Chain A
């Protein structure tokens, strides 16, 4: 084999693309960032479109999977066998209107001093013993329950999950991290009561819903707003948790009074007293 070898200097760089690495990274990062922002924005918009279309059974599944996490985050034990739960259920039952008739409403009484009430999707209503202790009349309780039912009717809890909703729906579809009775880290990240915040519009809607139910129940709105008035009077020295998750200002009380006036609803009427021993387990304060 005889070939003549002529040395030739390598001058062309065929193996290296002649694009400046910074320019390349710039385009790359731009593409990725723009796509992520677009997906994130699309998911935010999609929540409001998807939530009204979810079936009741999906909502119940989501609620059941979130329940253990929600109970953990609330703190305190669940008083499942307390007769006060039966009382609260009997209070709530007449308040359930047609739009919620296919949703089983479950009341969870939480043993904690912090006065609070909240809901999660799937008809789970949380009431704390602290709220019962601080209540002065049934009228107050009915309005608070009505307000929470308003959030349920408007699916505010599902909406407040925001983009996590898609994570939840995905994990439900795949059956991961949603085993009953176990609070998984995945779900812990999707639900955060501490930072739970409904929009002003959502609160207004829930307030009105609560007011309508109260009027239907008693024929008047008397004493219904007392709980809030007491607490707004306490501000700012004492800000109860209830006000934190449901920021309630003088404005909201005024808005409700205006709403009642527009509909010619009376805000005065008879007080319906709470049953004896509402602050004690099973209504039994042991002072016989």
Chain B
């Protein structure tokens, strides 16, 4: 019974703080996406000729996002029956968009007019696949000005 109460408290903490952080993060992501919308990012550019450019440079944006107890609990339960892990969909979505934004913001500061050959990689920072999971997302691309 005591264990159950501890789990419930951890779930409440995880959900409370986790969903608050997620709301704040999405708010910030949407604002910054709007502000950086004028610079196109695209995936082509590898083994293709780049658009006419005076200068190019590599830009890397990387972010580490931690899961929370609620998300991990939901994942553990989901592992029993299989299916979509809803709570991790938003976590990975935030990670990808944040990494892209960091790359883009740096490129814009440099004066990029567009970003070509953009790639995204994800890795999980977990302890042997056990316990709480953090994800790292890295986005990189070629800035052109």
Contact = CB atoms under 8 A, between A and B. Distances in A.
A189 interface: no
Interface of A: 1, 5, 7-10, 13, 15-17, 19, 21-22, 24-25, 28-29, 31-32, 35
Interface string B33-44: 110011010000
3 tightest A-B CB contacts, nearest first: A7-B37, A5-B40, A15-B93
A61 to B, nearest CB: 32
Contacts of A17: 84, 86, 89
Given A21-B74, A25-B70, A28-B74, A15 B80 contact: no
A161 B49 CA distance: 74
A32 B81 CA distance: 8
A24 B74 contact: yes
Given A9-B37, A10-B33, A21 B51 contact: no
Contacts of A15: 89, 92-93, 96
A33 to B, nearest CB: 10
Contacts of A19: 86
A2 to B, nearest CB: 9
Contact of A21 (B30, B80, B86): B86
B87 A32 contact: no
A26 B38 CA distance: 42
Given A7-B38, A15-B93, 10 more contacts: A5-B40, A7-B40, A9-B37, A10-B33, A17-B86, A21-B15, A21-B19, A25-B70, A25-B77, A25-B87
